Amino acid sequence: MQPIDQAFRPLASRRAGALTGRVRVPGDKSISHRAFLFGGLAAGTTRISGLLEGEDVLATGRAMAAMGARMKKDGDVWIVDGVGNGALLEPDGVIDFGNAGTGVRLTMGLVGSYDFAATFVGDASLSRRPMGRVLDPLRLMGVQVVARSGDRLPLSIHGPRVAAPISYRVPMASAQVKSAVLLAGLNAPGVTTVIEPVATRDHTEKMLLGFGAKLDVTVDAEGARHIALEGQGPLSAAGDLTVPGDPSSAAFPLVAALITPGSDVVIENVLMNPTRTGLIETLLEMGASIEIADRRNEGGEDVADLHVRHSQLKGVAVPPERAPSMIDEYPVLAIAAAFADGTTLMQGLDELRVKESDRLSAVAKGLEANGISHVEGKDSLSVTGRPDGKGLGGGRVDTHLDHRIAMSFLVLGMASEAPVTIDDVRMIATSFPEFVAMMAGLGAALEPGSRN
């Protein structure tokens, strides 16, 4: 039997009727990390509104403060005074990124081209995740790495006196790897080029341009994106920066409303950047009633309000090439699929194995515990639904320090016949601290669960 960690906080979710109301999800996590990173680097003052104050993003803020950036809050606005490109200070002591993969990988890139040492640590989940994908291109730029257990945390890096600009073809679909190389290139002389055969979220490119970086994107005959960045140029503060609502957080109330009979929910101000909207596209194909209202542009990004009503979903095959635009949404899509008529097939999921947990395995085990018919493959998952939710639920789910596993299975409990308990609610604070209160406000029934 596994020992019970007394710090764990189990939470149970049970069916309690329709979800109704209007909500605003917190700021986008990817953009919030980058707002602290680039605001902290660029010369001058950046004022950030709508920042996600999740633990992951706050860790990135502390890292930038440890390297010389100054940040304070004025009401709801974060005011960041940056050091200027090339002028980060050597951090004193270790930098603890907790659960935050994006934070640590982008920061390793950012400081990798500096002639000083930086040491990174994280929680048990982050210490299991592969860092070689970022360290390998950094090594090509001249970075020394000292790691005790393979390319995993805890580890230290030390940049060369002058970093070598490189041209790097990213071997997996990863915005974090792309971004880490570009950020290292900011402090390397000459042009650093990242070649991205499969397009991933483009927040780094867009935001660096907004901060005045010289960056050029072209697409070759094979459709690969070539992102060329001129290093050692000035970066200047973006002035006012507004972070739109996170589509990866919106996914939870969205799916909850779709599967809970009678529901009618509006989710305001959701980022609609096409590199992030794969889940909405898939749910629409499944027959979801999602009205995309008041499309507008805010601070260079498209946003919209989503009007969602309970819908009878049908199973679909999700094209594997859509994976990068919905990579964080497969756990909650699996929950939607559990209520669809027929089978939903998800393929091209290899990257899910190296997220905050092995998400493919964690989802499959959670489905198993709750009586949901599914098949787990090496990089695929198929789920066969029960539209009335009959016989579903009743399980206890191990969340493996993974916020999205936690939220996905709480959403399951909102519509399944029997309640669902997750072993630990704490990690939800890394990306969506308001989740429990927001869902309760819509009518969900969430209460402390038993420890066994």
Q: Which of residues 345-404 bind ligand S3P (CB under 6 A)?
A: 351
Which positions from 83 through 142 interact with ligand S3P, judged by CB under 6 A?
Answer: 102
The 8-class DSSP code of residue 235 comes to: -
| C-alpha–C-alpha distance, residues 243 and 229, integer Å | 24
Cβ 192 to ligand S3P shortest distance, Å: 17
Active site residue 328: yes
* Given 328, 402, 423, 424, the catalytic residue: 328
Q: Which stretch binds ligand S3P (CB under 6 A): 9-17, 171-179, 333-341, 414-422?
A: 171-179
The total of other beta-carbon atoms located within 10 Å of residue 290's CB is 18
The reply to whether 279 sits near ligand S3P by the rule CB under 6 A is no
Q: How buried is 7 (Cβ within 10 angstroms: 0-12 exposed, 13-18 middle, 19+ buried)?
A: exposed
Least distance between ligand S3P and beta carbon 435 (Å)? 16
| Piece of 173-181, 254-262, 273-281, 340-348 that binds ligand S3P (CB under 6 A) | 173-181
Q: Tell me, rounded to whole angstroms, the distance of Cα 264 from its chain centroid.
A: 26
- Regarding 327 and contact with ligand S3P (CB under 6 A), the answer is yes
Kindly state the DSSP code that residue 244 receives in the 8-state scheme.
P
Q: Per the annotation, does 210 bind a ligand?
A: no
CA 119 to chain centre: 23
Within 336-355, which residues bind ligand S3P (CB under 6 A)?
A: 351
Would you give the binding string for ligand S3P spanning residues 24-63, x where CB under 6 A is met?
------x---------------------------------
Whether 328 has a binding-site annotation, put simply, is yes
Instruction: Determine the straight-line distance between the first and last CA of the chain, rounded to whole angstroms.
Output: 11
Distance CA 180, CA 134 (A): 7
Q: Quick check: 184 binds ligand S3P (CB under 6 A)?
A: no
214 known member of a binding site: no
Give helix 29-41 / helix 203-210 axis angle, nearest 10°: 30
Which residue, 176 or 416, has its beta carbon nearer to ligand S3P?
Answer: 176
For the CB of residue 190, give the shortest distance to ligand S3P in the complex, in Å.
25
Q: How far apart are CA 362 and CA 356, in angstroms?
A: 10
Q: Is 81 annotated as belonging to a binding site?
A: no
| Span from 172-180, 207-215, 282-290, 295-303 in contact with ligand S3P (CB under 6 A) | 172-180
Is 72 marked as a binding-site residue? no
How many residues sit close enough to ligand S3P to count as binding (CB under 6 A)? 10
On whether 393 is known to bind a ligand per the annotation, the reply is no
Q: Is the dihedral of CA 26, 29, 30, 36 positive or negative?
A: positive
328 binds ligand S3P per the rule CB under 6 A: yes
List the beta bridge partners of residue 266. 22, 307
Residue/partner pairs of 156-161 with CB below 8 Å, 24 or more apart: 156/117, 156/118, 156/119, 156/120, 157/108, 157/111, 157/112, 157/117, 157/118, 157/120, 158/115, 158/116, 158/117, 158/118, 159/111, 159/112, 159/113, 159/114, 159/115, 159/116, 159/187, 160/113, 160/115, 161/115
- Asked whether residue 34 is marked as a ligand-binding residue, the answer is yes
Paired strand residues for 11: 422, 448
Residue 175 binds to ligand S3P (criterion: CB under 6 A):
yes
Q: Give the x-and-dash track for 197-236 against ligand S3P (CB under 6 A).
A: ----x-----------------------------------
3-state helix, strand, coil in the chain (%, to 5): 35, 25, 40
Chain centroid offset of residue 372 CA = 26
Instruction: State which residue, 106 or 411, has the beta carbon closest to ligand S3P.
Output: 106
Catalytic residues: 328
> What residues are designated binding site?
29-30, 34, 101, 129, 174, 176, 328, 355, 359, 404
- Binding-site ranges for ligand S3P (CB under 6 A): 30, 102, 174-176, 179, 201, 327-328, 351
